């Protein structure tokens, strides 16, 4: 982050990193509720995400009444990001091989880094430097190794070769939707992050209607699955979106985008610890690449530190 970074910006960036950690647990958690149809799972999760907004309001002091002043453009952006991303992603997983679909989907961290350069200067936009591009490239390469190495369950997901191109298009659409939603959130810094409560509610309704139209409702079986859904809805599909919103509006968008490359890596490690994946040399090589990419892409932070040290001397 540049020298003029404030304490508020550093905290917001840190909240974005917490969101990344929460998302890293998503694969392991959702594997416990694989029998629940995807849009039903989205609906249940975002109902809980809506309830998580109450906790966010209590902790941050943001007033629910302030949501009356949120512009319609932000509500549209929120539904576009939350519902649009999940809809495109699930279509991709159902119509293309999961490994390739995930690989294309994880273009979103790279797109965030690139698109942040087009933000107005007042909104935190800065020209891309060579270390941003190189760091993003290393991170993407590491993510590609993780996914190409064979995430458990990757053999499933292809509905037929004729449908594969649609799956690739849907996966790319998911990457574009999430990256543009994240960067565009920066243009609404005056909107409280509690507004995610409203967009979560709208997403829950849209997912519920979709589920009732195209799926057969399957209730979670047993306390274990209910606990998994509860954690998912309050954690990686709940409070994580509030943290991410704050990071995109007030933190270092580019640095958080680069750090997002850790998500598929940590997700695979989580599956490994749970016995769903095997740690291989390829996985460790990916860890080195992702770490190197994050360090190199965070060049602004290191240059700022060197500049501060030089001023002290």
Residue 179 falls inside a structural domain: yes
With respect to residue 312, please indicate whether it lies within any of the assigned structural domains.
no
- How confident is the model over 282-311, as pLDDT tens digits? 767 777 787 777 677 666 555 554 444 344
Q: Which range marks the domain in which residue 105 is found?
A: 7-305
How far apart are the C-alpha atoms of 86 and 208, rounded to whole Å? 13
Per-residue pLDDT at 2 exceeds 90: no
pLDDT for 122 = 53
Is residue 89 domain-resident?
yes
Q: What is the mean pLDDT of residues 101-120?
A: 77
What is the tally of structural domains in the chain? 1
Angle, CA of 11, 266 and 192, to the nearest 5° = 30
Q: Are 207 and 37 in contact (CB under 8 A)?
A: no
Chain segment 196-227, per-residue pLDDT in tens? 999 999 999 999 999 999 999 998 888 888 99
**Count of CB atoms within 10 A of residue 43's CB?**
23
pLDDT > 90? residue 73 = yes
Question: Residue holding tokens 């968008």?
Answer: 253
In terms of pLDDT, which residue wins out, 2 or 300? 300
pLDDT at position 126 is: 66
Return the structure tokens found at 278.
């095997």
**CA angle in degrees (0–180, nearest 5) for 233-26-192:** 50
Residues 250-281: pLDDT tens digits? Answer: 888 878 877 777 777 777 677 667 665 566 77
Per the domain annotation, does 60 fall within a domain? yes
User: Does 121 reside within a domain?
Assistant: yes
* Alpha-helical segments (H) within 149-239: 164-184, 195-214, 222-234
pLDDT at 125 over 60: no
Determine the pLDDT at residue 32. 76
Average pLDDT over residues 12-19: 91
C-alpha 248/C-alpha 257 separation (Å) is 9
Q: Which band of pLDDT confidence, cut at 50, 70 and 90, is reported for residue 157?
A: very low
Q: Phi then psi for 298, rounded to 5 degrees?
A: -85, 30
Average pLDDT over residues 1-13: 71
Q: Is 92 among the domain residues?
A: yes
Q: What is the pLDDT of residue 200?
A: 94
Q: What is the pLDDT of residues 81-110, one digit of tens each?
A: 999 998 888 888 777 776 667 777 878 887
Q: Supply 300's token pair.
A: 């602004």
Q: Which two tokens stand for residue 122?
A: 């007042």
Cα–Cα dist 293/133, whole Å? 9
Whether the per-residue pLDDT at 119 is higher than 90: the answer is no
Query: Residue 164's pLDDT is what?
Result: 58
- What is the arithmetic mean of pLDDT over 33-55? 90
The percent of residues in the chain predicted with pLDDT above 90, rounded, is: 27
The CA distance from 237 to 242, in Å, is 10
Give Cα 117 to chain centroid, integer Å. Answer: 19
For residue 1, being part of any structural domain is answered with no
Q: Is residue 231 part of a domain?
A: yes
- Mean of per-residue pLDDT scores for the chain: 79
């Amino acid at each position: 982050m540049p020298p003029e970074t404030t304490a508020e910006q550093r905290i917001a960036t840190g909240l974005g990193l917490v969101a990344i950690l929460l998302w890293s647990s998503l694969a392991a958690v959702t594997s416990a509720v694989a029998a629940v149809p995807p849009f039903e799972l989205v609906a249940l999760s975002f109902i809980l995400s809506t309830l998580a907004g109450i906790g966010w309001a209590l902790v941050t002091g943001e007033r629910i009444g302030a949501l009356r002043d949120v512009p319609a453009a932000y509500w549209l952006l929120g539904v576009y990001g939350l519902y649009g991303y999940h809809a495109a992603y699930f279509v991709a997983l159902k119509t293309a091989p999961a490994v390739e679909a995930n690989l294309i989907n994880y273009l979103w961290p790279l797109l965030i880094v690139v698109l942040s350069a087009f933000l107005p200067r007042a909104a935190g936009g800065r020209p891309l430097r060579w270390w941003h591009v190189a760091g993003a490239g290393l991170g993407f390469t590491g993510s590609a190794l993780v996914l190409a190495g064979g995430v458990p369950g990757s053999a499933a997901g292809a509905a037929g070769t004729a449908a594969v191109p649609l799956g690739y298009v849907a996966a790319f659409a998911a990457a574009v939707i999430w990256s543009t939603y994240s960067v565009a959130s920066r243009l609404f810094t005056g909107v409280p992050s509690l507004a995610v409560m409203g967009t979560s509610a709208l997403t829950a309704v849209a997912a519920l209607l979709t589920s009732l139209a195209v799926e057969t409702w399957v209730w979670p079986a047993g306390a274990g699955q209910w606990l998994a859904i509860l954690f998912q809805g309050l954690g990686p599909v709940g409070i994580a979106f509030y943290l991410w919103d704050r990071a995109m509006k007030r933190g270092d968008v580019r640095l958080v985008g680069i750090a997002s490359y850790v998500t598929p890596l940590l997700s695979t490690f989580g599956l490994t610890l749970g016995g769903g994946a095997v740690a291989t040399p390829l996985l460790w090589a990916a860890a080195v690449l992702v770490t190197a990419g994050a360090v190199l892409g965070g060049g602004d932070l290191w240059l700022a530190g060197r500049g501060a040290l030089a001023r002290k001397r």
